[in-house]
Amino acid sequence: MLVCGVDDAGRGSVLGPLVIAGISIERNKIKHLSAIGVKDSKQLSPKSRENLYDKILSLVDSYYVAKIPPRTIDRHVNKNLLNQLEADYMAKVIKKLGASSSYVDSCDVNPKRFGLYISNIAKTGKIISSHHADKKYPVVSAASIIAKVNRDREIEKLRKNHDLGSGYPSDSKTMGFIKQWLSQNGDVPVFVRKSWKPIKILLSKSS
């Protein structure tokens, strides 16, 4: 019996993609995920996540990673549909993996509504949606590690050419990089999310 876990990475960032990852694994193998030290990716160092990445992939039956680009994120945020966008992509991942039951980390304040929406699109197996699923369920913890490592790799690619910090709005290095780019080029780079409030403020000041 295949069980699926799905999680995201990079939702709060002002730049780069939002990554949705899912893994599917036989129910009787889930205990092996915990045995190798799988837990919520936020509780692990980047090195630990990288070390666990290949171990997870060797244990699971299948996995799928979807990357949502900044402009797609912007279109949905401007219509107040970010949760729907995430649910659509989670459904896509679940459909691809075709498990009997899927556990998802809900970004909606109403996890039941979020799960029902995904279920109506995915039309495959049972959907269990809850807050902090990445802490509660090893299958979601594993998915959170896959998502985070892929997201970190995308940011590393950008860092080869740009000194952009962590990518989060609380990071003065990130915001300083965007301000400088904007003053030199009259717009923000394509990998920056224009719909994020701090970026909107910068753009309105420069126009």
Q: Is the pLDDT of residue 207 over 80?
A: no
Q: Is the pLDDT of residue 206 over 90?
A: no
Helices 70-78/82-97 angle, 10° precision = 130
The string of pLDDT tens digits covering residues 121-134 is 999 899 999 999 99
Q: Residue 40: what pLDDT?
A: 87
Alpha-carbon span 37 to 93, nearest angstrom: 24
Alpha-carbon span 86 to 8, nearest angstrom: 8
Single-letter amino acid code for the residue at 41 = S
Percent helix, strand and coil across the chain, each to the nearest 5: 55, 15, 30
131 exposure class (CB count in 10 Å sphere: 0-12, 13-18, 19+): middle
The string of pLDDT tens digits covering residues 30-63 is 999 999 999 989 899 999 999 999 999 999 999 9
- Per the document, the length of the chain is 207
Alpha-carbon span 102 to 130, nearest angstrom: 11
Alpha-carbon span 23 to 167, nearest angstrom: 26
CA nearest to 87, candidates 117, 43, 49: 117
Structure tokens at 88: 């659509």
Half-sphere exposure of 134 (CA within 13 A, CB side): 22
Q: Where are the alpha helices (DSSP H) in 65-137?
A: 70-78, 82-97, 111-122, 133-136
Q: Residue 90: what pLDDT?
A: 98
Half-sphere exposure of 88 (CA within 13 A, CB side): 11
Q: Phi and psi dihedrals of 9, rounded to 5?
A: -150, 140
- Over the chain, what is the mean pLDDT? 96
DSSP state of 81: -
pTM for this entry: 0.96
Q: Residue 35: what pLDDT?
A: 96
Q: Give the whole-number percent of the chain exceeding pLDDT 70.
A: 100
Alpha-carbon span 171 to 13, nearest angstrom: 10
Position 83 confidence tier, pLDDT thresholds 50, 70, 90: very high
The string of pLDDT tens digits covering residues 146-157 is 999 999 999 999
Q: What is the mean pLDDT of residues 2-15?
A: 97
Alpha-carbon span 90 to 85, nearest angstrom: 9
All domains in the chain, ordered by first residue:
2-159 (3.30.420.10), 172-206 (1.10.10.460)
